[in-house]
Amino acid sequence: MKIFFQYLAVILLFIYSAYSAAQENVETVGNLPEEIFETSGLIYFNGNLITHNDSDNEAVLYELDTLSLSIQRSVTISNISNNDWEAISQDEEYIYIGDFGNNAGTRTDLAVHRILKDDYLNSNIVTATTINFSYEDQNNFSDNGNSDWDAEAFFVIDDSIIILTKQWKSLGSVAYEFSKLPGTYVASRVGVIENVGLVTDATYDSQTNRLVVIGYSSILSPFVGTVSSLNLDSIFEGYTQKSLELNFIQAEGLTQTNTSSYFFSSEYYSRQTPTIESPSRLFSFQIPDVVTEEPEIPEEPENPENPEEPKEPENPEEPENPVEPENEEYPSEPELPENNDVEDKVIIYRDNTSNQYYYSISTEKTVFGQIIYDLSGRQIWENSGEIKTRGIISHHLESSIYYLALYLEDSVIATSFAVY
């Protein structure tokens, strides 16, 4: 649960500016075609995107134009089935397809299929060779509901395939390694990370030795994780993670187009409580190029023999710029970022003096209702009267994590917050 508290602490303490530089470049490219509403993997090859659907769909790869998102061609793999395709990767010679979706943890037929790129380019019907594998430490294959043996991410490096698991119970990931040559292997553990969320895809850049992963929290808030200098003996060493500041987006596929530009795809998602429908979409974002920096040498002052003494205020017992309290409706309210250029956004913050929680909505649309849900989706509180764009959450809430959904005239916006 640490990731949720880290994410929510950012909201509550208004360290928005620390994230904005990295997240403001996230853009929605557009909706994906209906044929790939269950997009699950993504690569960039030959100037186009390649994606596929997940379990029980056709064994087909779809090639998309990066601008129009129209399907340019469909390539059928004739000798395999789509049991649960969850990811796609590549090296110079092959395209690899990960058939290792395993929500219940019961599968004993985990596989990665590969097809020659030359075959892919020259025909719309191709055949694949198969790499079978199992996890070295999985001994229990009984169905206990959502398991820690699911996987939706992998990448190819040198002669190896690295699988990153999607742990439904532990909200972490374990890295496993095995050969990329056709055969049957027992995958070895080469890294583990805890409390990050649900990892759904990965992409590796051999030029910069950077690994980037994507995933989402249990309330569908996507994140991006980065390992700037990959160590094959400890895959997650140096891992850092940032939220993409999006809500109700089931991020699934991730690919890199150059050293700093990325696309990710989202799967169609809907639920009744709250009423949310999120179409399958393509997004883009940037990560700055990795720059090798020389160790910093501390700067010496211009006059090292006579350093300036720090100036003390004339009245040291009082602050230099005292702020007089104002007689306003919210006397202790923290200062909010303006967000005038951001439409349909809600921020929740806590006043430490009164322990009350305030909300602020940035929208020009009519707000028809407010509902607070807990993490299980259970409705805790509802307000369907006149909704102001700024106010107090007066309903008593026990210490936990919640999210506030606001129903606008044409959409729903929401954000999560912690009560402590």
The verdict on 355 and 264 lying in the same domain is no
My answer on whether 159 and 257 are in the same domain is yes
- What's the predicted TM-score (pTM) here? 0.69
User: Do residue 235 and residue 370 come from a single domain?
Assistant: no
Domain membership flag for residue 340: no
Q: What is the predicted pLDDT for the residue at 299?
A: 59
**Residue 67 covered by a domain:** yes
Residue 337 falls inside a structural domain: no
**325 belongs to a structural domain:** no
Specify whether 114 is located in the same domain as 186: yes
- CA 279 – CA 189 distance, rounded (Å): 36
Q: Residues 305-331: what's their mean pLDDT?
A: 46
Above 70 in pLDDT, residue 305?
A: no
CATH code at position 357: 2.60.40.3080
Phi, psi of 339 (to 5 degrees): 55, 30
Number of Cβ within 10 Å of residue 349's Cβ equals 19
Residues 261 and 374 in one domain: no
Range of the domain at 106: 2-286
The model's pLDDT over 42-97, given as tens digits with 9 standing for 90+, comes to: 999 999 999 999 998 999 999 999 999 999 999 999 999 999 999 999 999 999 99
Do 382 and 370 form a contact (C-beta atoms < 8 A)? yes
Q: Are residues 270 and 398 in the same domain?
A: no
* Domain CATH number, residue 258: 2.115.10
Mean pLDDT of the chain: 83
Tens of pLDDT along 41-55? Answer: 999 999 999 999 999
247 band by pLDDT with thresholds 50, 70 and 90: confident
Which residues contact residue 75 at a Cβ distance below 8 angstroms, ignoring those fewer than 6 apart? 60, 61, 63, 120, 123, 124, 125, 126
- Looking at the fold, whether 272 and 357 belong to one and the same domain comes out as no
At 71 the pLDDT is: 98
**282 lies in the same domain as 376:** no
How do residues 369-387 score in pLDDT, each as one tens digit? 788 887 766 777 877 666 8
Q: Do 238 and 375 reside in the same domain of the chain? A: no
The answer to whether residue 294 sits within a structural domain is: no
Residues 237 and 165 in one domain: yes
Least confident of 12-26, 53-67, 280-294, 405-419: 12-26
To which H or E segment does residue 78 belong?
none
pLDDT (tens digit per residue) in 181-199: 999 999 999 999 999 999 9
State whether 235 and 371 are in the same domain: no
CA angle 17, 259, 165 (to 5 degrees): 80
Structural domains of the chain, count: 2
- pLDDT for 376: 65
The per-residue b/e assignment along 87-100, b for 16 or more CB within 10 angstroms, e otherwise, is bbbbbeebbbbbbb
- Same domain (yes/no): 9, 134: yes
Domain limit, last residue, from 286, 303, 328: 286
Q: Is residue 164 part of a domain?
A: yes
The answer as to whether 88 is a domain residue is: yes
Final residue before a domain boundary, out of 286, 317, 336: 286
In a domain, 293, yes or no: no
CB contact set of 267 (below 8 Å; sequence gap of 6+): 37, 38, 39, 40, 54, 250, 252, 280
Last residue in a domain, options 286, 310, 329: 286
Q: Is the pLDDT of residue 10 over 60?
A: no
